[in-house]
């Protein structure tokens, strides 16, 4: 179980933001492209920053530069004299925001809550240098969006306001999925995690309670082709037959091993082999075993269930670091010990039988 007794790593005083028109690149910011550095520091439109660089109003160590040049630790970045005022106005009218609170990561601009201290800080399950494993509770979005300003990103920004590089999620979890989410406290850590995920070198395992009696006693491969569609303005994934020659459909693969099998519901351990939108939820629903409480892909009564029983249990990085936490599930559905990782040393796994497999069309 996550615990508030695990505090966030103490910030490096040398990495706090200084209000100056010649900021110095910190170690946490090193390796970024200049345009990324400026967006994260100033939260101004990329087109404006690009123009300043092109016209020589922004320089690195006194010399002209290009927007995509890499900045390194201790580089001095000269800004136009009006940049700080524009950044303060952009962030919400207060200079103190430029000193920290509202300087936001690129592509994550959002209004910071009026009382950031009132938001509970993200629980750090484990930290390995600039790589943090954060517990994301069910119901909290990873990023802010239409209709909600509170999110994991919001809370990270509020509780690490003085950092030059705001701790940034390296991936995402669906709003109603709980569990481990990796956060990078430096640009190099962010790039390392995301590169490993692109190369499928990161192990990601989940646990899920599903409806019905799971038909297999051993580990099985779940293989589908998923296509994105929109219904009433909302994104929804659908399973389609590979023979449909649908070029927009992408293959989705994962492994499933039963941990508990009962007549009405079953507990599964799942390892993702691909990373598609809503993949686990769609694949299980297509097999006739939707995740309990999944209002989008499950049974009609799941819209009032109040909880979705899908939890990101464990992440293993290529160097062997393991980040894990148990779900906060009540009663007989609780999980009290970490199950062993799925073993991939054997031969290819058979697929789950097609019996009961229903393909949605639209």
Q: What percent of the chain has pLDDT over 90?
A: 50
- Structural domain harbouring 292: 200-333
Q: Tell whether 30 and 167 lie within a shared domain.
A: yes
Q: Which of 5, 21, 75, 174 is catalytic?
A: 174
Mean per-residue pLDDT, 65-89? 88
- Nearest Cα to Cα of residue 280 among 246, 310, 300, 302: 310
- The answer to whether the beta carbons of residues 202 and 315 sit under 8 Å apart is yes
- What's residue 64's pLDDT? 92
97 as an active site residue: the answer is: no
- Nearest Cα to Cα of residue 325 among 316, 309, 312, 334: 312
What is the domain-level CATH number for residue 129? Answer: 3.10.290.10
Token pair, residue 352, equals 């789950």
Kindly report the pTM of this predicted structure.
0.76
What is the domain-level CATH number for residue 223? Answer: 3.30.2350.10
Mean per-residue pLDDT, 288-298? 93
Mean pLDDT of the chain: 82
Q: Tell whether 160 and 255 lie within a shared domain.
A: no
CA–CA gap between residue 266 and residue 289 (Å, rounded): 9
Mean per-residue pLDDT, 51-74? 91
CA–CA gap between residue 40 and residue 45 (Å, rounded): 11
3-state secondary structure 45-94: CHHHHHHHHHCCCCEECCECCCCCCECCCCCEEECCCCHHHHHHHHHCCC
Q: pLDDT digit string (tens) for 177-213?
A: 999 999 999 999 999 999 999 999 999 999 999 999 9
Q: How many domains is the chain partitioned into structurally?
A: 2
Please report which confidence band the pLDDT of residue 239 belongs to, taking 50, 70 and 90 as the band edges: confident
Please report which confidence band the pLDDT of residue 346 belongs to, taking 50, 70 and 90 as the band edges: low
Q: Tell whether 174 and 46 lie within a shared domain.
A: yes
Please report which confidence band the pLDDT of residue 162 belongs to, taking 50, 70 and 90 as the band edges: confident
Q: Tell whether 44 and 96 lie within a shared domain.
A: yes
Cβ atoms within 10 Å of 155's Cβ, excluding its own = 19
- What's residue 36's pLDDT? 85
- The answer to whether the beta carbons of residues 97 and 87 sit under 8 Å apart is no
- What's residue 231's pLDDT? 72
Please report which confidence band the pLDDT of residue 140 belongs to, taking 50, 70 and 90 as the band edges: very high
């Amino acid at each position: 179980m996550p615990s508030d007794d695990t505090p966030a790593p103490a910030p490096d005083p040398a990495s706090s933001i200084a209000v100056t028109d010649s900021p110095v690149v910190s170690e946490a910011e090193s390796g970024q492209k200049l345009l990324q550095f400026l967006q994260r520091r100033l939260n101004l439109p990329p087109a404006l920053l690009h123009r300043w660089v092109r016209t020589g109003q922004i320089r690195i160590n006194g010399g002209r530069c290009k927007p995509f040049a890499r900045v390194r630790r201790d580089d001095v970045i000269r800004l136009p004299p009006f940049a700080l005022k524009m950044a303060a106005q952009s962030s919400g009218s207060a200079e103190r925001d430029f000193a920290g609170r509202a300087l936001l990561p690129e592509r994550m601009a959002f209004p910071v809550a009026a009382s950031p201290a009132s938001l509970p800080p993200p629980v750090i399950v484990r930290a390995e240098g600039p790589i943090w494993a954060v517990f994301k509770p069910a119901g909290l979005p990873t990023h802010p969006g239409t209709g909600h300003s509170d999110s994991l990103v919001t809370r990270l920004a509020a509780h690490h306001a003085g950092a030059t590089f705001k701790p940034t999620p390296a991936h995402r979890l669906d709003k109603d999925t709980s569990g481990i989410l990796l956060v990078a406290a430096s640009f190099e850590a962010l790039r390392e995690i995301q590169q490993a995920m692109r190369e499928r070198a990161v192990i990601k395992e989940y646990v899920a309670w599903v409806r019905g009696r799971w038909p297999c006693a051993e580990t099985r491969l779940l293989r589908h082709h998923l296509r994105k569609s929109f219904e009433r303005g909302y994104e929804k994934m659908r399973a389609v037959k590979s023979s449909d020659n649908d070029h927009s459909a992408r293959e989705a693969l994962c492994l499933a091993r039963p941990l508990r099998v009962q007549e009405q519901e079953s507990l599964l351990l799942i390892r993702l082999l691909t990373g598609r939108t809503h993949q686990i939820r769609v694949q299980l629903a297509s097999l006739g075993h939707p995740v309990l409480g999944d209002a989008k892909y499950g049974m009609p009564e799941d819209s009032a269930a109040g909880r979705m029983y899908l939890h990101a249990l464990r992440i293993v990085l290529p160097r062997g670091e393991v980040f894990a936490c148990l779900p906060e599930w009540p009663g007989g559905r609780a999980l009290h010990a970490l199950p062993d990782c799925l073993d991939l040393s054997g031969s290819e796994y058979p697929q789950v039988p097609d019996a009961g497999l229903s393909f949605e069309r639209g």
